[in-house]
């Protein structure tokens, strides 16, 4: 089909292949050069490709307009939902998407485990920013001024005996999270709950959310930590690719 051949040309361009000439396109697609010329002429007329003086073609500015439309229609929750469902299916534990709200955090999305005994979270639930893997995966990448603000504004308090309330100890824990790339919590906010969390970054490598899995302590601690973290990081990377 003619339309399919035209789309095949566009699929040749990526971050490593920014410009191609007609002979290169014809060779890659196994098409006659005359056919490639016809498709390129149409793409050029519509603004989907640009032709340089040396005869090389690159993607056109029309894609900027289309990308803007797509970005307006897509938000992180919509992107994350299918990834979180798969993560919960693989780990059999609850997955949670969290974002910062001033000096607290809020749950944007959650996919509950189908296990009879499970950890539950609700959309819109406000949670402390100082403890728990979900929150610490955010806090670790927000900067020390946020940590200072938590203590200055009186947000830091004891939830369980495992809650970190010492500023130096919390900063040391956050530094460790940045180094290894994920956060861990064992009963810091809710007793008997173990969780792992990772940050979600935007294209400028600024943290915008966190993704975590949580479950009952006795079940979570029996699982392979390396495997859980690997699945969690893979899920976060998938979300980041579409932001």
pLDDT per residue as tens digits for the range 171-200: 999 999 999 999 999 999 999 999 999 999
Q: What is the mean pLDDT of residues 51-72?
A: 86
Separation between Cα atoms, residue 7 and residue 48, nearest integer Å: 11
pLDDT at 43 over 60: yes
Separation between Cα atoms, residue 21 and residue 94, nearest integer Å: 50
Pick the CATH number of 2-71 from 1.10.10.10, 3.40.50.2300, 3.30.1510.10, 1.20.1250.20: 1.10.10.10
Model-level pTM greater than 0.85? Answer: no
Q: What is the mean pLDDT of residues 215-243?
A: 94
pLDDT tens, residue by residue, 130-153: 999 999 999 999 989 999 999 999
Start and end residues for every CATH 3.30.450.40 domain found in the chain:
74-241
pLDDT tens, residue by residue, 86-127: 999 999 999 999 999 899 999 999 999 988 878 878 888 999
What pLDDT, on the 0 to 100 scale, is given for residue 133? 97
Q: Return the CATH number of the domain spanning residue range 74-241.
A: 3.30.450.40
What pLDDT, on the 0 to 100 scale, is given for residue 116? 82
Start and end residues for every CATH 1.10.10.10 domain found in the chain:
2-71
pLDDT confidence bin for 26, thresholds 50/70/90 = very high
Backbone angles phi, psi at 162, to 5 degrees: -95, 0
pLDDT at 74 over 70: no
Cα–Cα separations (whole angstroms), residue 199 to 56, 75, 96, 186? 40, 17, 12, 18
Q: What is the mean pLDDT of residues 24-28?
A: 95
Query: What is the residue-averaged pLDDT of the chain?
Result: 93
Separation between Cα atoms, residue 169 and residue 151, nearest integer Å: 13
Q: Determine the angle formed by the axes of helices 76-91 and 225-241, rounding to 10 degrees.
A: 160
What are residue 147's DSSP bridge partners? Answer: none
State the burial class of residue 231 (Cβ atoms within 10 Å of its Cβ: 0-12, 13-18, 19+): middle
């Amino acid at each position: 089909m003619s339309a399919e051949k035209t789309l095949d040309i566009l699929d040749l361009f990526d971050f490593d292949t920014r410009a191609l000439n007609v002979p290169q396109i014809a060779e890659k697609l196994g098409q006659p050069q005359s056919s490639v010329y016809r498709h390129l002429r149409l793409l050029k007329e519509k603004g989907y490709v640009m032709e340089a003086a040396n005869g090389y073609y690159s993607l056109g500015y029309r894609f900027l307009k289309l990308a803007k439309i797509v970005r307006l229609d897509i938000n992180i929750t919509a992107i994350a939902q299918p990834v979180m469902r798969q993560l919960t299916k693989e780990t059999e534990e609850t997955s949670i998407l969290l974002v910062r709200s001033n000096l607290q955090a809020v749950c944007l999305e959650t996919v509950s485990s189908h296990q009879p005994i499970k950890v539950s979270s609700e959309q819109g639930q406000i949670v402390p920013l100082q403890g728990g893997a979900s929150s610490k995966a955010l806090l670790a990448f927000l900067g020390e001024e946020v940590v200072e603000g938590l203590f200055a504004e009186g947000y830091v308090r004891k939830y369980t005996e495992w809650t970190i309330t010492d500023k130096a100890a919390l900063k040391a824990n956050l530094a460790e999270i940045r180094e290894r790339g994920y956060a861990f919590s064992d009963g810091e906010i809710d007793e008997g709950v173990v969780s792992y969390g990772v940050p979600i970054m935007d294209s400028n490598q600024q943290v915008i959310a966190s993704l975590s899995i949580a479950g009952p302590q006795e079940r979570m601690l029996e699982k392979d930590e390396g495997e859980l973290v690997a699945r969690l990081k893979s899920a976060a990377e998938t979300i980041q690719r579409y932001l």
